[in-house]
């Protein structure tokens, strides 16, 4: 089953490189998947660094000159995808070596499946001068606990902290920090099970930072609408439910969210309380 991984990206060059390197380590054959990176008019060195990156898999890098809404990027990725299975993934998500294989196996067993990412941890893969005070303090404490992670030699520019050999050995997955969203989803799974039996709003768990489904279901549902992110995701997820798709929490994968500078949302993009992530 050819799988297309769709990754929107914006000014996350070093985190994106770590994410892509994780796909160089997949257990499955590289011919079984492709990665589509949609660069939303980044102003950092994304284009230059990706031009030097050696991908063992099919990598399709699309750079937009002008910034577009997230829905435009995701829909563009769907249209470019050659695979029958599509995985949406955030640019700052570091994936384990079994990532592609787990998604493929799940969808081979259930054609109507929407596989929701459940477990994730956090990690400081790149030091960023723009971190908040809380992030600076947490990063410093985390580095003190794990002296084998590289220390930033300067505090005035971004510094990658992980070595490729550490990712090969999957060290980051053993030293990740807790993630509140993962803890909420674990509580939901413990109460309703992975198939979300009797859970009234499975659509609220649809998150384009980590989710997979067959391309045919996306096309039938009508793709994403240009709305604030959470509202956009839930709008599509509700249409998928109406079309008979079954939502299930993945219980085999742990992805790592690489900490980054927290961008302030504009008033226009702010979602009301009812649209907060479950």
**Complete domains list, the chain, with CATH:** 3-122+175-261 (3.90.550.10)
Other CB atoms within 10 Å distance of the CB of residue 38: 24
pLDDT of residue 149: 94
Share of the chain above pLDDT 70, in %: 94
pLDDT of residue 168: 97
**What is the rounded average pLDDT of the residues 79-108?**
98
3-state secondary structure of 89: strand
pTM of structure: 0.93
DSSP state of 111: T
Q: What is the pLDDT of residues 250-262, one digit of tens each?
A: 989 999 999 999 7
Choice among 120-129, 150-159, 239-248 with the minimum mean pLDDT: 150-159
Q: What is the pLDDT of residues 172-214, one digit of tens each?
A: 999 999 999 899 999 999 999 999 999 999 999 999 999 999 9
- pLDDT tier, 270 (very low <50, low <70, confident <90, very high otherwise): very low
How large is the angle between the packed helices 13-23 and 99-109, nearest 10 degrees? 60
Query: Is 91:9 a contact under the CB 8 Å cutoff?
Result: yes
> pLDDT at residue 277 above 70?
no
- Give, in degrees to the nearest 5, the angle at Cα 109 between 107 and 113: 45
- According to the 3-state scheme, what is the secondary structure of 66-110? CCCCHHHHHHHHHHHCCCCEEEEECCCEECCCCHHHHHHHHHHHC
Rounded distance between C-alpha atoms, residue 170 and residue 22, angstroms: 10
pLDDT of residue 152: 87
Q: What is the pLDDT of residues 126-163, one digit of tens each?
A: 999 999 999 999 999 999 999 989 988 888 899 999 99
pLDDT of residue 262: 77
**Pair of tokens at residue 3:** 């799988």
Rounded distance between C-alpha atoms, residue 13 and residue 141, angstroms: 25
pLDDT of residue 264: 59
């Amino acid at each position: 089953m050819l799988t297309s991984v769709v990754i929107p990206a914006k000014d996350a060059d070093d985190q994106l490189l770590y994410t892509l390197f994780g796909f160089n380590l997949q257990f499955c054959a590289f011919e079984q998947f492709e990665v589509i990176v949609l660069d939303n008019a980044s102003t950092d060195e994304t284009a230059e660094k990706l031009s030097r990156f050696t991908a063992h898999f099919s990598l399709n890098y699309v750079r937009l000159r002008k910034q577009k809404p997230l829905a435009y990027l995701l829909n563009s990725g769907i249209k470019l995808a050659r695979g029958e299975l599509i995985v949406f993934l955030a640019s700052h998500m570091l994936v384990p070596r079994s990532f592609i294989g787990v998604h493929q196996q799940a969808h081979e067993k259930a054609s109507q499946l929407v596989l929701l990412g459940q477990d994730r941890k956090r990690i400081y893969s790149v030091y960023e001068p723009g971190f908040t005070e809380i992030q600076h303090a947490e990063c410093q404490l985390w580095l003190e606990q794990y002296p084998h992670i590289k220390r930033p030699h300067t505090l005035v520019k971004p510094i990658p902290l992980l070595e490729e050999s550490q990712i090969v050995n999957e060290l980051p997955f053993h030293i990740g920090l807790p993630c509140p969203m993962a803890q909420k989803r674990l509580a939901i799974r413990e109460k309703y099970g992975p198939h979300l039996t009797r859970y009234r709003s499975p659509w609220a768990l649809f998150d384009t930072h980590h989710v997979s489904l067959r391309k045919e279901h996306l096309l039938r549902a009508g793709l994403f609408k240009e709305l604030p992110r959470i509202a956009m995701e839930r709008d599509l997820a509700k249409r998928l439910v109406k079309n008979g798709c079954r939502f299930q929490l993945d219980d085999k994968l742990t992805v790592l969210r690489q900490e980054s500078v927290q961008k302030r949302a504009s008033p226009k993009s702010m979602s009301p309380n009812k649209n907060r992530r479950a």
